[in-house]
Structure 1
Amino acid sequence: MKRFLSSVRARAALGATLVVAVALVAAGAAVLLSLRANLTHQASGQAESAASGVASQLAANTAYDQLDLDDEDHPVQVVDDHRRLVAASDDLERISGTGTDAVKPQPRSTTPPKGDDDDDDESEGDALELGEISEDAADVTTGSATVDGDTQDYRFAAVDVNVEKKGDLTVYAGASLAAQESAVSTALASMLIGFPLLLAVIAGVTWLVTRRALRPVDAIRSEMAAITASEDLARRVPEPDTHDEIARLATTTNETLAALQASVERQRRFVADASHELRSPIASLRTQLEVGAAHPELLDVDGAVEDTVRLQELAADLLLLARLDAGEKPGGGHVDLAAMAREELSQRTRDRVDVRMDLANVEVTGSRSQLARVLGNLVTNAQRHARSHVTVTTRADGAWAVLEVSDDGDGVPENERDRIFERFVRLDDARTRDDGGAGLGLAIARDVAVRHGGTLTVEEAPGGGALFELRVPAAAR
């Protein structure tokens, strides 16, 4: 059972069947109750009509033995104000639910009812005055009666009538509930037979519809399993032409596979480029050490130190990129960009050109070390291309804190302004310089900007050259 319920089709079919079953039971109960109430009300009306008919006969001073009480469907009792049965249907054998359970009229007592004269005992059938039937609503009760050996449930209506010489009388007349019981039983039997069949049909249809609806999901699952087994991220799952949730799922899955493939390819290129970049300083350092070991007088110490520093910086760049790719949080400290720029630029003693500063205090939230790394990378990049000076500016621009680094060099061609932020990308003229970097500085700077919720772009400086602009949200005061 547990394995069966692990299927979405089974759970959907079972859920739909249970919901419909509850609805059918509720609707069936409502129908049965309504049917019973309507038939009971109808029987009550028939009983009241029969009782009113007998009351009309009594009001016309009809004698008890001349009352028309031969209707077998409506057993009748006539009771006086002393609860004495004075008239009843001939075939009535037993009765309950009325004012008395007597079935045979009792002889009148020697004391006449109030308002009667002794001389009038034999003149009950004479029409002296018309009686008065009560206008109050008839009292209706439920009981049973046996008429000519047949016992049934009845609805009894009680109608009061006042007759001259006879006093206050109450007429009880019943209407059989057999039709109600038969109709309710028939409806219940039909429901007991029809509901299970209907539920079976609903369960089967739901199973088939769900199976058909989930067929694309199974195709997606099979293709994903094949992609996992083959490790071929170039494959894609089939996209059904239905424009529904499953089609959107397939589209999203393919987009995820494309992003994963691009990420894996980017990682492979990163590893290959890192290996290539590391190979050059390592090979150069090894060569110099081997030459120095064989000929100490030829050892280029300055070159070895330079290659070591270059190797160290490259390793630090690769480590920072790895941490950024792993989602390292920038932190929640407050950093004054102006103070940070003054401190970092004061430590640069080997810059090739002059660095000018135009700094306004503006605070941001983030990692001081990462923001200082961005500043250092931008200034180092500007130093490689500047002719006479580099300018560093900090300012506030609405909700943004802005850090700008510009130079007076040749600038960046417009078609290269996005590509220079890719990893291990260096423009052709930079590759010809001996002090060119590995092409990671600007990539690191943009990744740090993105991690801080900002942007890093390059435009043309007002006086020519390149203008790098870092925008990050200003810290809330």
Structure 2
Amino acid sequence: MSRLADRWTDVSLRAKITGVTVFILFLGLIVAGVGTMALLRPTLINQQTTELEQLRSDPSPALAPNADLGRLTANDVLFANREYYVAILDADGTLIRDNRFVGANEATERALPELPAQPLTLDVVAEHQRSGDFITLRSPSGTEWRAILLEIRDNNVPSGSLLIASSTSYITQTIANYVVIFTAFGIAVILLGAALTRLLVTATMLPLAEVEKTALEISRGDYSKRIMVTSPHTEVGHLGESLNVMLDRLDGSLEDRARTIERMRRFIGDASHELRTPLVSVRGYAELYRMGALQDQEQIAQAMERIEKESIRMTSLVEDLLALARLDERRPLELAPLPLNRLAHDAALDARAQAPEREVTVVEDPSGPEVVGDEHKVRQLMTNLIGNAMRHTPAGSPIEIVVSAGTAQPEGAPGSSETPHGPAETPRPGGTSGATTRPVPPETPMARFDIVDHGEGVPEQIRDKIFGRFWRADTSRNRETGGSGLGLAIVKSIVDAHGGRVSVHETPGGGATFRVELPAAGPTDDTVPVPRLRP
């Protein structure tokens, strides 16, 4: 049984459908044929019975033309209708005359019935007429005849009987012809059904062949191939559309994976380059000291100073890399309402302490806008942007921190370059939440702050690149001028984690304006305005 099931499993779907269709047709034809034949014979017997009953009432159709029932002659029987066997019997049941030999050949003679061994006397005839039954006769060849007996009266006195028999051979022949014809038509129907089923299944399976071909080409590396769906409302069409959707997503995933790998390789290369430079310097000074090339204390102190600076550079770079790694992990943020005026005030104080010669001004919003975010990350966000402005503007150039309440701009607004960001959770005040659960809708109320400088500005053609990791407009890779190229990448990651938006604009009169928009927390009753910081 299991072997038969295994063989059936190995049969193709096309052959299975064709075989099942032929089997169903065969069963249907067998049932129809047997049922028809079971009804056909009784129907024909009933027709013969009706004819004999009519002959019982009026035997003229079975006799010779113009026969007189009251005065039958030998010719009336001798030239009787050849469809029937007609015989005249005397009162004792002895055969007087029949239509056996007139125009009959040997075969016909053998086919005619023989009289029963029991004489058909007048008593038998009378009993037969009262019961209305038929007499069954058989020919030497075995053919069955059904007969009726009628009394013959001479001067109203019974003198004999008239026997009329009808053969059942035509019934048997009709059934045989039916079987032959039905079998021939049945075979034709089965062959035609098998052929049409095969053609239909083959035509229906053509899209599956296309699916197979497409899958083979994709397995060979051609991920751009798609399935041509000609009949989208069929099952195969639904399958093709579903596979196309799956292939689109797979292709997109592969492209994202390739881009991620490429970015990772570039990131590793840039990080290796950034780390190699200070390491080479540290190693060089160490080898000079080991070989005794540094003779006096002044040279040794200078070498130690350079080693210390290069170590500070490596420490800063490693800390930036760790910060980016933690942001990429999407660790939960400690979200709470944060007053932007106060954060801007603190950031300005820190900037003035770092560069006293700088004029750092805070332009507050009287409404005291608040954002929902992680205080440490938002402070780091302001610090990085202010540090970037100080690094890329002339010494003594003023910097403004402008706080305002507003709504998020739609992506791609004119005059800005907004960074793409993935899904982020809508922040909840006073709670701890993960950083990636659902995107913030564009209509979510936003508060913003701008870091405005008056340097050379950011050319429009590179505004969509400056937030990339290790990307710097200064290609000299000098730490003192160009930095490591991670500051703005950290800014972008922090903004993305909060579900916000960062963009670059041109400052009127020259310079760059970095605008950060974060989800607003809404006004609170205990909001205390912070006095404007004067330089």
Work out the CA distance in 1 between the residues paired with 2:473 and 2:385: 15
2:448 to 403, 409, 420: 403
Which region of structure 1 is more displaced relative to structure 2, 31-40 or 399-408? 31-40
Q: Does 1:310 align with 2:324?
A: no
Change (3 A) 1:183 1:61: closer
Change (3 A) 1:22 1:322: farther
What residue in structure 1 maps to residue 12 of structure 2? 14
Percent of aligned pairs with the same amino acid: 22
Letter in 2 for 1:87: F
Q: Is the Cα–Cα contact under 8 Å of residues 505 and 513 in structure 2 kept in the other structure?
A: yes
Secondary structure in structure 2 of the residue aligned to 1:421: coil
What residue in structure 1 maps to residue 430 of structure 2? none
Change (3 A) 1:332 1:408: closer
Offset of residue 459 of structure 1:
1.1
Work out the CA distance in 1 between the residues paired with 2:210 and 2:517: 52
What residue in structure 1 maps to residue 23 of structure 2? 25
Work out the CA distance in 2 between the residues paired with 1:205 and 1:283: 71
Q: Is the Cα–Cα contact under 8 Å of residues 86 and 106 in structure 1 kept in the other structure?
A: no
Offset of residue 345 of structure 1:
3.0
What residue in structure 1 maps to residue 387 of structure 2? 380
Letter in 1 for 2:301: L
Work out the CA distance in 2 between the residues paired with 1:396 and 1:83: 117
Letter in 2 for 1:358: E
Coordinate RMSD, CA, aligned: 5.9
Work out the CA distance in 2 between the residues paired with 1:368 and 1:122: 135
Q: Does 1:443 align with 2:444?
A: no
Q: Does 1:390 align with 2:400?
A: yes
Work out the CA distance in 1 between the residues paired with 2:387 and 2:134: 124
The one-character-per-residue Cα deviations of 1:399-451 (angstroms, maximum 9, x if unpaired) are 15343332131321222212222222222399678364211111232244445
Change (3 A) 1:435 1:355: farther
Q: Is the Cα–Cα contact under 8 Å of residues 288 and 304 in structure 1 kept in the other structure?
A: yes
What residue in structure 2 maps to residue 267 of structure 1? 264
What residue in structure 2 maps to residue 428 of structure 1? 474
Letter in 1 for 2:322: L
Offset of residue 315 of structure 1:
0.8
1:54-73 equivalence runs, <5 A: 54-57=52-55, 70=84
Change (3 A) 1:343 1:195: farther
What residue in structure 2 maps to residue 140 of structure 1? none
Work out the CA distance in 2 between the residues paired with 1:424 and 1:262: 16
Q: Is the Cα–Cα contact under 8 Å of residues 351 and 383 in structure 1 kept in the other structure?
A: no
Change (3 A) 1:60 1:456: farther
Q: Is the Cα–Cα contact under 8 Å of residues 402 and 472 in structure 1 kept in the other structure?
A: yes
Offset of residue 391 of structure 1:
0.7
Bigger Rg over Cα: 2
Change (3 A) 1:210 1:357: same
Change (3 A) 1:203 1:416: closer
Q: Is the Cα–Cα contact under 8 Å of residues 13 and 203 in structure 1 kept in the other structure?
A: no
Letter in 2 for 1:279: R
Letter in 1 for 2:469: R
Q: Where do 5+ consecutive residues of structure 1 fail to align?
A: 1-9, 73-79, 94-102, 109-119, 126-145, 153-174, 225-236
Work out the CA distance in 2 between the residues paired with 1:445 and 1:62: 120
What residue in structure 1 maps to residue 134 of structure 2? 87
1:54-453 equivalence runs, <5 A: 54-57=52-55, 70=84, 84=131, 86-88=133-135, 90-91=137-138, 177-183=175-181, 185-186=183-184, 214=212, 217-222=215-220, 224=221, 237=222, 262-284=259-281, 299=301, 306-322=309-325, 328-331=329-332, 334-338=335-339, 341=343, 345=347, 348=350, 350-352=353-355, 353=358, 354=360, 356=362, 358=364, 360-364=368-372, 370-385=377-392, 387-393=397-403, 395-397=405-407, 398-410=443-455, 411-428=457-474, 434=480, 436-450=482-496, 453=499
Q: Is the Cα–Cα contact under 8 Å of residues 457 and 470 in structure 1 kept in the other structure?
A: yes
Offset of residue 14 of structure 1:
1.2
Secondary structure in structure 2 of the residue aligned to 1:404: strand
The one-character-per-residue Cα deviations of 1:241-280 (angstroms, maximum 9, x if unpaired) are 9867799999988877665555444333322221222233
Secondary structure in structure 1 of the residue aligned to 2:484: coil
Change (3 A) 1:413 1:181: same
Q: Does 1:469 align with 2:515?
A: yes
Work out the CA distance in 1 between the residues paired with 2:379 and 2:13: 60
Work out the CA distance in 2 between the residues paired with 1:363 and 1:437: 29
Which region of structure 1 is more displaced relative to structure 2, 207-216 or 21-30? 207-216
Work out the CA distance in 1 between the residues paired with 2:315 and 2:482: 15
The one-character-per-residue Cα deviations of 1:8-53 (angstroms, maximum 9, x if unpaired) are xx99971232233333333443455455556666667655544444
Secondary structure in structure 2 of the residue aligned to 1:458: strand
- State the TM-score, normalized to the length of structure 1: 0.57
Q: Is the Cα–Cα contact under 8 Å of residues 449 and 472 in structure 1 kept in the other structure?
A: yes
Work out the CA distance in 1 between the residues paired with 2:375 and 2:62: 115
Change (3 A) 1:437 1:240: closer
Letter in 2 for 1:376: T
Change (3 A) 1:201 1:432: closer
Work out the CA distance in 2 between the residues paired with 1:176 and 1:464: 110
Work out the CA distance in 2 between the residues paired with 1:474 and 1:58: 112
Aligned residues: 384
Change (3 A) 1:403 1:208: closer
Work out the CA distance in 2 between the residues paired with 1:277 and 1:206: 62
Work out the CA distance in 2 between the residues paired with 1:11 and 1:470: 64
Work out the CA distance in 1 between the residues paired with 2:188 and 2:404: 85
